[in-house]
């Protein structure tokens, strides 16, 4: 064989060997991307949820500053916990959860400006907001629970 043919055969052999080796040692596949979070549009009950979260924020603030009938200081922690459960139960996506948290904070901070201590108007507002939350929760359960 002449030198040219030998060189061509050797180069062909090495290229086949290299390509076979490259085929055997495939690069690691990148980790699969997590599925995207699918945000649904506003639910038909979103306004009621936001209203309830805002009222619960107001109740949390008022419960922290007003004593109950027994004279013991109530705690707004109960309302914070209930709101957290409501937000966690919402499944339409992080956007609505964020809106609900913002509504709660707005309800809390709006009263913080005007009420520094418990007063008769603060107690009346607490009772009114408590009734509104109760009615809203019953209405939402009746309309959308599927029962």
Q: pTM of the entire structure?
A: 0.67
Query: Is 7 contained in some domain?
Result: no
> What's the number of domains the chain is made of?
1
pLDDT at 16: 44
The secondary structure of residue 30, as a DSSP letter, is P
Alpha carbon dihedral 17, 22, 24, 30, in 10-degree steps, equals: 180
Residue 70 sits in which domain range? 46-144
Per-residue model confidence as pLDDT tens digits over 8-64:
444 444 444 444 444 455 566 777 776 655 555 557 788 898 999 999 999 999 998
Query: Is 73 contained in some domain?
Result: yes
In a 3-state reduction of DSSP, which class is residue 118?
coil
Per-residue model confidence as pLDDT tens digits over 72-114:
556 788 889 999 998 888 767 788 889 999 999 999 999 988 8
pLDDT at 17: 44
């Amino acid at each position: 064989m002449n030198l040219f043919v030998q060189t061509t055969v050797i180069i062909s052999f090495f290229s086949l060997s290299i390509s076979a080796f490259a085929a055997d040692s495939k690069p690691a596949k990148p980790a699969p991307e997590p599925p995207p979070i699918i945000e649904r549009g506003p639910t038909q009950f979103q306004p009621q949820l936001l209203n309830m979260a805002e009222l619960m924020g107001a109740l949390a603030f008022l419960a922290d500053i007003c004593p109950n009938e027994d004279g013991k200081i109530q705690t707004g922690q109960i309302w914070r916990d209930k709101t957290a459960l409501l937000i966690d139960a919402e499944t339409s996506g992080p956007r609505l959860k964020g809106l609900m948290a913002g509504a709660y904070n707005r309800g809390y901070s709006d009263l913080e400006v005007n009420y520094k201590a418990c007063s008769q108007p603060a107690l009346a507002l607490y009772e009114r907001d408590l009734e509104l939350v109760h009615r809203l929760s019953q209405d939402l359960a009746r309309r959308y629970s599927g029962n």
